[in-house]
Structure 1
């Protein structure tokens, strides 16, 4: 049982680990207007560079992006949803008392200050996809709905990249 728990923890941390060597998809340069955004308001608000990590059904993955708030008011990312995962949480990677990295839920939502950018990135803040309902295969896309307290729900199409 302990081995199974360690394996699950290793897979979860791998989903949020630093970027792998570039691949053909990783080398892609996205233009200022993001072709992966489904919702036109996503690019107006400044959601860019979305992607998710490939992972098998039943496992875990993470979705990353840049959230730019060009408005004069702060907004808070309060939830995220996708039909590809049984559970979706907003997480932060941090060091615990033993010096090991661990992922913890962000309580109360993720504030995006007025006029600032928040990066959802490996080893930091991210949208954690738990209990995957299907394989996430490199080259596919994943639709993720991000719900903000002020602006409401925005749906983003994130390309899936290999580990």
Structure 2
């Protein structure tokens, strides 16, 4: 096992063992980010949000130091085998006492206009913005080895063609962007 693999494993273990709490009722765990290649101009991040409070909350925004633009995204079935990735302006509801998972093939954090390449083991610093909990800083490890079955069986989805904003992507391009 290489030093880089051992170092990444140690960082990942600490990240997963010590979920982000801040001074809020939101716990963030199992966070990781992906890019399709070192030259990718976009990437995505996935994580689990747990609202340990007695009031509902909502993730309404994300900021990161590695991208010109970061948004909350989802996939929407447009019919005829076309899936469209789109910005979710209203954010994601995290009900009191519940867990909400941002996962491959579903809701996720989208990072567009990457200002540097992201390699396995790198750390993406991000700020998640909640309606009630406010801003929570989180460090998200880049994990290019994570299997797609985190959260849901992404391989079971029939993407057909996907659109990112107004840009139509082939099934293979969309798969690469999120794997």
Instruction: Give the aligned partner of residue 47 of structure 1.
Output: 28
- Distance in structure 2 (CA, Å) of the matches to 1:33 and 1:96: 35
Give SS of 2:81's match.
Answer: coil
Please list every run of at least 4 consecutive aligned residues from structure 1 whose deviation after the TM superposition is greater than 4 angstroms: 23-26, 28-33
Aligned residues: 138
User: For residues 141 and 32 of structure 1, what CA distance do their matches in structure 2 show?
Assistant: 10
Which residue matches 1:67?
A: 49
1:120 to 102, 110, 133: 102
Give TM-score scaled by structure 1 length: 0.74
2:150 paired residue number: none
Deviation by residue 1:63-102 (Cα, 9 ceiling, x = unmatched): 1100000111011111100010000010111211222222
Distance 2:139 2:85 in 1: 24
Which sections of structure 2, spanning at least 5 residues, go unmatched? 145-178
Q: Which runs of 5+ in 1 are unaligned?
A: 1-22
- TM-score for the superposition, normalised by structure 2: 0.67
The structure, 1 or 2, with the larger RCO (C-alpha pairs under 8 Å, 6+ apart) is 1
